Amino acid sequence: MPATGDKNNMYDQVKEKITDNLTKQSTLKEDTIEKLIEEWKGVIENTPQNLLKIILGLEDEQHIRSLSGEDWNYLKNELEQSFIVKIESGILVTGENQKARDTTWWTSKKQLEIDNYYSSNYMNYMKRNLPTDVLNTIDEDTDAVMNNLADPDLGDFSIYGMVVGHVQSGKTSNYASLICKAADAGYRFIVVIAGALNNLRDQTQKRLDEVFIGANYQGVGQLPGFKREKMPDSLTNADNDFKLETAKARGTTNFENMQLPILVVIKKHTKSLSNLLEWLEKHYKNQIEKAMLVIDDESDYASINTKEEEDPTVINEKIRLLLRKFKKSAYVAYTATPYANIFIDHEAKNEEIGKDLFPEDFIYALEAPSNYFGAEKIFGSEDKKFVVEIPDEDAVYELDDTPYPPGKIPFIIKHKKDYAEELNVLPDTLKDAIHLFLLNIAIRNLRNQRKHNSMLIHISRFTNVHIKVKKLVKEYFEIVKDNILAYGNLDNPDNYSVTIQLMRSTFDTRLEDIEFSFETILRELAEVIELVIIRDAHQKAKDRLVYRDDIQTNVIVIGGLSLSRGYTLEGLSVSYFLRTTVFYDTLMQMGRWFGYRIGYEDLCRIYLTDDLYRKFGFIIEATNDLINRLKDMKQDNLTPRDFGLAVKLHPDSLVQITARNKSKHTEDMYLQMNLDGSMKETGWLNDGEKDISKNEILLRETMNSLLTGGYEHVSKESYVWKNVDKSIVETFVKNYQLYKNDPLGLRSRMPIDFIRKYIQASESNWDVVLFNGKGTESFVYDSITVKRQKRKVKHKEGYFEVTNRQLSRANPERIVMPKEFSNLSSSEMRTKLDKPLLMLHALELRGQNDEFITNAIGFGISFPISGRPQDNMFKVRINNVYKRQLEEALKVENDEIGDYDE
C-alpha cells in the first residue's frame, strides 16, 4: 500500500479515524461525510489534549494542532472522492455449454454451506481501502464468475472464461476476490500467470500475499480472525518465481490429502511454466483429481497461439498442457484489451495438448467505478484539460533534412538502438513536464497528501536509450535542484534564476487554478527536493524501483516494456509519452496513466503528440463499440461463439487491433458503399422488448420535434413534413435500436455506419413521412393518429424478419413527388428526389398465419442522387464467425433477391 504519511500527523490520524467509521457503514448517504467531519471538529475542540492524544494514537501532545478550514476541505474532498463512488455490476455473456450446467451452484448453495473464511478475510481487510459500494460490486462480479466456474466437488470439468476490465482499473482486486472464493469452494491448486517480467510478477505476488496468504502476519494476517492453520501454502514468494528446488523443499506434493489451497504466482515465461509442469509430472503421471483455477493476467499478451495449431507457440502450449493435467480445471483470462482473445479460433483443438484458450464458456465485462481516471475522461473531452501536446519541434516521427538550431534537436520517435549515441539534449516540453512533476509533489504535500509521487517517461523500447535519457534527465534535475535549494526560500525567487523563471512559466501555464501561490509551492519543494530519485526500469537496471510502506517515494521513472503492462506506478501525475505502435492493445496497455487519482486529478497531465492523441481517441471508440456489442449480446442471449466481431481499423491504416500473428483467424475487409439512388430499410427488426419500447418512445419524441419545430406538413392519411432539419433525422437514426448481432449491418441490409456518416455529411434538409396503414392497431401521439401497417414476419434468433425484408409498398417515394413523376418506378423516382426522405413505419407484426405478435417501429431512407463525392470507405477486421455469417447472408441474398418496385 502507498505510504500514508507521518503517524503523528493530525490530519492523517483524523482522516484514518473517519475512514474507519465510513468503512463500517453499509450504506452511505450524501451528508454522512459532512456530519462525521462536524463531529470530529467538535471532538478536537472540546477534548482535553491528553485524552485527544490517546484517541488519535499520537505519541506526544506536541503533535496536536488545530486543523484549518482548508485542511477540513481537503479532507472532505478526499473522502468524497474515495467513498461516494458509483459502480455497476458487469455484463455476462455465456456459452452454449453453460446452459446445461448449474450456473447458480455458488450463490444458491455452496456459499451458504461453508464458512467463506478466505473471502471474508478479503472483504474485511479491503474495507480499509475500498468504499462499501465498490466492495459490494466486486463481490457481485466475482459471484457471477464463480457461478460460471464449476463446483469442485462434482465430476470432471474444463471451463474457459474471460474477464474484461479497464486498464489500471482494479482487475487485480477482482481476481484476488475470485481466488479467495475459489479457495473457499474447494479449488486446491491456484495458479496466477502474471506478466512476462519480474516486476509485475513480484508486484502481483505481494498483493496476493497481502490479501490472501497473510504471510508473516501481514495484510489479512493482521486480522483478529486470522487462523495460522488455514494459511494457504505458497510455492512462490515476493522474491522468487517457481523453482523446482524451492517446491521440493516445501514438500507439498500430495494433493489428494491436501486440505489447504496451494498458490503459485509465476511469470508468463517458458522456463517458469516448464518448471511447474515438470514438477507436476514428476509427482503425478496421470491427471490430478483436485480442482485447479488458473488466472491468466494480461491474457492477450504471450498466451495467444500465433502459429499453426499443429505447432503452437510454447507459452500457449504450456498453458494448455497445464490445464490438461487436471481433471477439473477452470481457466479465467483477465485483460483490458481482449481483441486477441476474441480472435482465437473457437474450433482450434490439438489432440495432444487440448483445445485452445478461446473463452468458450463466458465473457464478463467489468464496469469501471465513477472515480476511475480512464481513457474516456482523458481523451474524450473537448477541452483536452489533461493533455499537453508535444510539438513538432520537440518530437518528430523520423528525422529529415530540416536544419535545427544547436541544442534544439527533437526526439526522434522512430529510432533504432544506436539512437542513444545521438541523444544529447532534452526537448523543452520534457523540461516543462519535469517542472510540473516537482511542483505537483509540493502541492500534494501542502494538501496533506504525503504519499508516493511518480512521473513516467516512455520514449523508447531500447534499454540503452532509457539509460541515456536517464542520464540527461538526471543532469537537468540536478540543475533544477541546485537552483531551488539556492533560491526557493527567497521572496521573488525568479528574479535570481532563469531555471526558476521557467518553473514559474510552467506553473502559470499548467496550474492556473491551483490554490497555492508559486512562492508557497517552491518553499515546500525546497524542503523535499533532495528526496526525489531518478530510476530507469528495465531488466538491466541496477536499482530496482520500490515503493516502501514507511517512507514517501518521489520518483521519475524512465522505461519501456517493463512499465507497459500491468505494472502500477504509485501516485502517477505526469507522463511524457512518445512511444508509438500500430496495435490498439499495446498502445492502450502502455497507458500507465489510467487508474485512480483521488485528490490530485487536477494535477495530472499527459504529454504526447497530436497524432497519438487522435489514435487514442479512435481506440476509445473501437473499445466502446466492443463493450456495447457485449451488452447487445447479453440482451439477445447470444454466446461468445456468436461474437461476430467487426472492429474498425484506424482510417490511416497505421493502427491495428492487435498483432497480425495474434489475429490469424481474422480478415481485413475494405467496405465501400455509395448510397446515392438507393433505399435502405429495417427488414430485420430487433425482438427485444426493451428495444421495441425504446423505439416506440423514440418515434413519439420524433413526432414531438416535428410538431414543435414549425415545419411545413401535410396530413391526409399519412403525414408528410417538408424541409426538416437534418438534426431530427440524425437523432432518430442514432438512437434507433437495430438488430444487434450484425455490427456492420451488412447481413440485414441496413449498413448503419455508412448511413450515419451520410447524414453527418449531408448539408440539405430532409423530408419525413409517417405512413398510414390498414392494421387493427393505431399509433397515436398528440394530434397525430395513423393506423399501423400490417407486416408478416418470421421470428428468428434475436430479430423479426419482414417478408422479403421490405417495409415499404408500392413506390413509397410517390408521397413526396410531383404528379408528373407518379408513374415512375421507385428507383426512377429516387433519381428525381431533391432531398433525402426518412420513412417512418408504425408496424403491427403478424405471424405467417396472420396471428398478432407485437407492435414495432421500423424505418427506411430513400437517398437521392447527390452527385457529391462520398467519404464512405471503412476498413474493418472480422473474425471467422462474422465471416461465415456474411457468407451465409450473401448466399441467402443471392437466392432471395427482392425488387422494391413490386
pLDDT tens string 168-201: 777 889 999 999 999 999 999 999 999 777 778 8
Single out the residue of 190, 216, 217 nearest to residue 204, CA to CA: 190
What are the tens digits of pLDDT across the range 17-48? 888 888 777 666 667 888 888 888 888 888 88
Question: For residue 302, how many other CB atoms are within 10 A of its CB?
Answer: 21
Residues 6+ apart with CB under 8 A from 353: 312, 317, 320, 321, 324
Q: Is residue 822 over pLDDT 50?
A: yes
Q: Is residue 873 over pLDDT 70?
A: no
More confident residue, 116 or 59: 116
Rounded to the nearest angstrom, the gap between the alpha carbon of residue 748 and the centroid of all alpha carbons in its chain is 30
Whose grid coordinates read 490517546?
54
What predicted TM-score, i.e. pTM, was given to this entire model? 0.70
Q: Name the DSSP class of 740.
A: S
**Percent of the chain having pLDDT more than 70?**
87
Helix (H, G, I), strand (E, B) or coil at 286: coil
Per-residue buried b or exposed e for 770-805, using 16+ beta carbons within 10 Å of the residue's own CB: bbbbebebebebeebebbbbbbbbeeeebbbbbeeb
Give the separation between CA 887 and CA 838, rounded to whole angstroms.
30
More confident residue, 375 or 767: 767
Mapping DSSP onto H, E and C, the string for 143-156 reads: HHHHHCCCCCCCCC
**Phi and psi torsions of 175, nearest 5°:** -75, -20
What are the tens digits of pLDDT across the range 477-531? 999 999 999 999 999 998 999 999 999 999 999 998 899 999 999 999 999 999 9
Please report which helix (H) or strand (E) contains residue 294, including its range: strand 288-297
Q: Is residue 902 over pLDDT 60?
A: no
**Phi and psi torsions of 162, nearest 5°:** -145, 140
* Mean local confidence (pLDDT), 275-293: 91
**Percent of the chain having pLDDT more than 90?**
43
Helix (H, G, I), strand (E, B) or coil at 372: coil
| CATH number 3.40.718.10 is the correct assignment for the domain at 91-365 | no
User: pLDDT category, 672, cuts 50, 70, 90?
Assistant: low
What are the tens digits of pLDDT across the range 749-802? 788 888 888 898 888 899 999 999 999 999 999 999 999 999 999 998 889 999
Sorted by where each begins, the domain ranges of the chain are 10-83, 91-365, 387-609, 618-660, 670-895
What are the tens digits of pLDDT across the range 694-726? 999 999 999 999 999 989 888 778 999 999 999
Ranges of beta strands (E only) in 642-718 are 646-648, 666-672, 679-681, 684-686, 713-715
Whether 321 and 270 have beta carbons less than 8 Å apart is answered as no
Rounded to the nearest angstrom, the gap between the alpha carbon of residue 698 and the centroid of all alpha carbons in its chain is 30
- Tell me how far CA of residue 704 lies from CA of 288, 780, 786, in angstroms: 67, 12, 15
DSSP string, 1-43: ------TT-HHHHHHHHHHHHHHT-SS--TTHHHHHHHHHHHH
What are the tens digits of pLDDT across the range 91-115? 999 999 998 899 999 999 999 999 9
Q: Is residue 657 over pLDDT 60?
A: no
Q: Average the pLDDT over each of 203-217, 642-656, 694-708 and give the range with the smallest value.
A: 642-656
Single out the residue of 898, 808, 819, 899 nearest to residue 862, CA to CA: 808
- pLDDT at 901 (0 to 100): 25
Q: What are 78's three cell numbers?
A: 478526499
User: pLDDT category, 645, cuts 50, 70, 90?
Assistant: low
Q: Where are the alpha helices (DSSP H) in 84-131?
A: 105, 111-113, 117-126
Whose grid coordinates read 512476462?
196
Q: Name the DSSP class of 240.
A: B
What burial class does residue 662 get, using C-beta atoms within 10 Å of its C-beta: 0-12 exposed, 13-18 middle, 19+ buried?
buried
User: pLDDT category, 604, cuts 50, 70, 90?
Assistant: very high
Considering 304-318, 321-335, 879-893, the range whose residues carry the highest mean pLDDT is 321-335
Give the separation between CA 236 and CA 269, rounded to whole angstroms.
15
Q: What are 566's three cell numbers?
A: 500491468
